[in-house]
């Protein structure tokens, strides 16, 4: 059986190609997204590959970083945030794609150790005073290709957006719910709890679900009978809360643009251990 571990050279090479080949993926026409090698001068074979999506009226600044250890020994990366196109001030958290989990919070520098011939892909976000999208499951670039809109409505406590989806593929949104803790700077606290989540597809269908509801399904045609034979079906899964993270997943029967929204309760979050 083939070894699909992210520590193997083949996966390191694939990840490197996907992150570095921005122009081949159509980013050349999108001047808001820049891919480069952060350590090209210092290393003959660059191992730090940030992809930066600059803020627009529809999207916040987003940064995805690929780290690649080309050596046969363990390597410790210590990268100033300014080298990744991020301000030094503030607290940051990253989502580790290979481990499918959050990293501990950090300030000023991104520090990460890789095994020999290892690699990782990290989505870096500043810790805010509200929930925010940190990753998606569609592509290694973690939302840069598929998320076209992201907005926060403080009045309704709703995070919403639009994603380009593939018909029949499970699509997961990872939403960071850790927020700044004024009493302990640099140590985020879990500040928001999901109340409900929903989607609206290109065909006008809508689905809404709440924690504890399990699964909801319906045909994509807004006017179809639920028993319509062979109608593309969309499936919505209840939001799942983890430590500082909410996972919200769905399968669009027709694919294409899907509007999503996650509304958070005004009740305080239960106490939880921090990320230290």
pLDDT of amino acid 186? 60
If pLDDT is split at 50, 70 and 90, which confidence band does 177 have? very high
221-229 mean pLDDT = 61
Given its phi and psi angles, is residue 66 left (phi above 0), alpha (psi -120 to 50 degrees) or beta?
beta
189: phi then psi, degrees, rounded to nearest 5: -120, 150
How high is the pLDDT of residue 29? 43
Highest mean pLDDT, choosing among 13-27, 143-157, 230-244: 143-157
Q: What is the pLDDT of residue 22?
A: 46
Are 145 and 179 within 8 A, CB to CB? no
- Residue 38 sits at the vertex; the CA angle it makes with 34 and 42, to the nearest 5 degrees, is 155
Q: Is the pLDDT of residue 12 over 90?
A: no
The dotted CATH code for 1-126 is 2.60.40.1180
- Whether the pLDDT of residue 13 is over 70: the answer is no
Percent of the chain clearing pLDDT 70 (strictly above): 74
For residues 113 and 129, what is the distance between their CA atoms, to the nearest angstrom?
29
* pLDDT band of 40, cuts 50, 70, 90: very low
Report the pLDDT value the prediction gives residue 179, as an integer from 0 to 100.
Answer: 83
Question: Could you read off the pLDDT of 97-129 as tens digits, one per residue?
Answer: 989 999 999 999 999 999 998 889 999 999 998
What would the 3-class secondary structure string for the chain be? CCCCCCCCHHHHHHHHHHHHCCHHHCHHHCCCEEECCCCCCCCCCCCEEEEEECCCCCCCCEEEEEEECCCCCCEEEEEEHHHHCCCCCCCEEEEECCCCEECCCECCEEEEEECCCCEEEEEEEECCCCCEEEEECCCCCCCCCCEEEEEEECCCCEEEEEEEECCCCEEEEEEECEECCCCCCCCCEECCCEEEEEEEECCECEEEECCCCCEEEEECECCCCCCCCCCCEEEEECCEEECCEEEEEEECCCCEEEEEEEEECCCCCCCCCCCC
pLDDT band at 138 (very low <50, low <70, confident <90, very high): confident
Question: Which CA distances in Å does 192 have to 132, 133, 263?
Answer: 11, 13, 10
Prediction pTM value: 0.81
pLDDT band at 204 (very low <50, low <70, confident <90, very high): confident
In terms of Cβ atoms closer than 10 Å to its own Cβ (0-12, 13-18, 19+), residue 161 is buried
Every domain of the chain and the residues it spans: 1-126, 128-276
């Amino acid at each position: 059986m083939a070894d699909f571990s992210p520590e193997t050279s083949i996966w390191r090479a694939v990840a490197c190609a996907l992150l570095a080949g921005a122009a081949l993926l159509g980013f050349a026409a999108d001047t808001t997204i820049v891919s480069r090698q952060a350590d090209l001068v210092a290393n003959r074979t660059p191992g730090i590959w940030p992809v930066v999506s600059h803020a627009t009226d529809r999207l916040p600044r987003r940064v995805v970083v690929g780290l690649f250890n080309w050596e046969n020994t363990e390597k410790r990366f210590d990268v100033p945030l300014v080298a990744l196109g991020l301000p030094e001030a503030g607290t940051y958290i990253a989502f580790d794609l290979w481990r499918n989990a959050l990293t501990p919070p950090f300030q000023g520098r991104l520090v990460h150790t890789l095994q020999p011939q290892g690699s990782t892909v990290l989505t870096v976000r500043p810790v805010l005073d509200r929930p925010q999208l940190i990753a998606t499951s569609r592509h290694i670039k973690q939302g840069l290709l598929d998320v076209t809109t992201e907005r926060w409505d403080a009045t309704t406590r709703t995070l919403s957006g639009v994603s380009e989806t593939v018909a029949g593929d499970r699509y997961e949104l990872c939403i960071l719910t850790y927020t700044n803790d004024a009493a302990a700077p640099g140590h985020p606290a879990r500040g928001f709890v999901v109340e409900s989540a929903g989607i609206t597809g290109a065909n006008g269908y809508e689905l809404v679900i709440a924690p504890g509801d399990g699964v909801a399904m319906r045909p994509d045609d807004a006017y179809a009978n639920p028993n319509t034979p062979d109608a593309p079906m969309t499936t919505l899964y209840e939001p799942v809360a983890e430590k500082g993270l909410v996972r919200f997943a769905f399968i669009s029967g027709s694919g294409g643009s899907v509007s999503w929204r996650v509304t958070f309760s005004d009740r305080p979050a239960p106490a939880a251990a921090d990320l230290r």
